[in-house]
């Protein structure tokens, strides 16, 4: 499957799923010095991007104080960081038209050994609750090749943003592989 840039939006932050974490797992906030932990989780999880210290700096280095209330780690029963998600904000120079009034689900990852254990949705709920504290709407960007993530985002009420350059092409491919009620109603 091609990797086509996609964005998704949610016009409000009301009424999203709130599943519980499986027994033994927990979520903690980012702490100063967690840059390497974040890089490690992302590298282990992401097969489409090269994750470096520069990746972290480009995305978060300009607002490390916000990381302490907006970035979360998923912790395994043995105390190891095995996932991360950030309830970020729009308005950065790389964010284009998304202003600071928009919340952003950003850099979601679970290391492969812990995938498929019912962790993504509880982790997403944590980030959505944080976004709802500061924003009335949210967006995210991803790739058409990330089908499991796209399903979670659709389940959380995010919908395709068709204004992106190759949105129709990308969502047609996704619809052919991912049978989700939100996509079935779309005429692509």
Domain ranges of the chain: 5-184
pLDDT band at 94 (very low <50, low <70, confident <90, very high): very low
**Distance separating alpha carbons of residues 43 and 73, to the nearest angstrom:** 14
Calculate mean pLDDT across residues 106-117: 97
pLDDT band at 188 (very low <50, low <70, confident <90, very high): confident
Which residues have a Cβ under 8 Å from the Cβ of 86 and sit 6 or more positions away?
60, 67, 70, 71, 72, 104, 105, 106, 107, 108, 127
Dig out the tokens for 83 from the structure: 């996932």
pTM of the model: 0.94
Asked whether residue 17 carries a pLDDT value surpassing 80, the answer given is yes
pLDDT band at 186 (very low <50, low <70, confident <90, very high): confident
Calculate mean pLDDT across residues 42-67: 94
Dig out the tokens for 154 from the structure: 């659709």
CB 136 within 8 A of CB 40: no
pLDDT band at 52 (very low <50, low <70, confident <90, very high): very high
Higher pLDDT, 23 or 185: 23
CB 138 within 8 A of CB 105: yes
**CATH hierarchy code of domain 5-184:** 3.40.630.30
């Amino acid at each position: 499957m091609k990797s086509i840039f996609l964005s998704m939006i949610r016009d409000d932050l009301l009424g999203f799923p709130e599943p519980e974490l499986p027994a033994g797992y927990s979520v903690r906030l980012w702490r100063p010095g967690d840059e390497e932990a974040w890089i490690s989780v992302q590298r282990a999880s992401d097969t489409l991007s090269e994750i470096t210290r520069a990746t972290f700096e480009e995305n978060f280095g300009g607002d490390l104080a916000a990381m302490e209330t907006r970035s979360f780690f998923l912790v395994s029963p043995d105390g190891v960081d095995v996932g991360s998600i950030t309830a970020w904000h729009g308005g950065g120079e790389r964010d284009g038209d998304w202003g600071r009034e928009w919340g952003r689900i950003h850099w979601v990852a679970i290391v492969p050994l812990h995938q498929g254990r019912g962790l993504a949705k509880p982790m997403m709920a944590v980030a959505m609750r944080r976004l709802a504290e500061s924003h009335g709407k949210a967006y995210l960007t991803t790739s058409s090749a990330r089908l499991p993530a796209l399903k979670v985002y659709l389940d959380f009420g995010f919908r395709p943003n068709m204004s992106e350059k190759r949105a129709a092409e990308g969502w047609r491919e996704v619809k052919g592989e991912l049978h989700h009620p939100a996509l079935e109603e779309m005429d692509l």
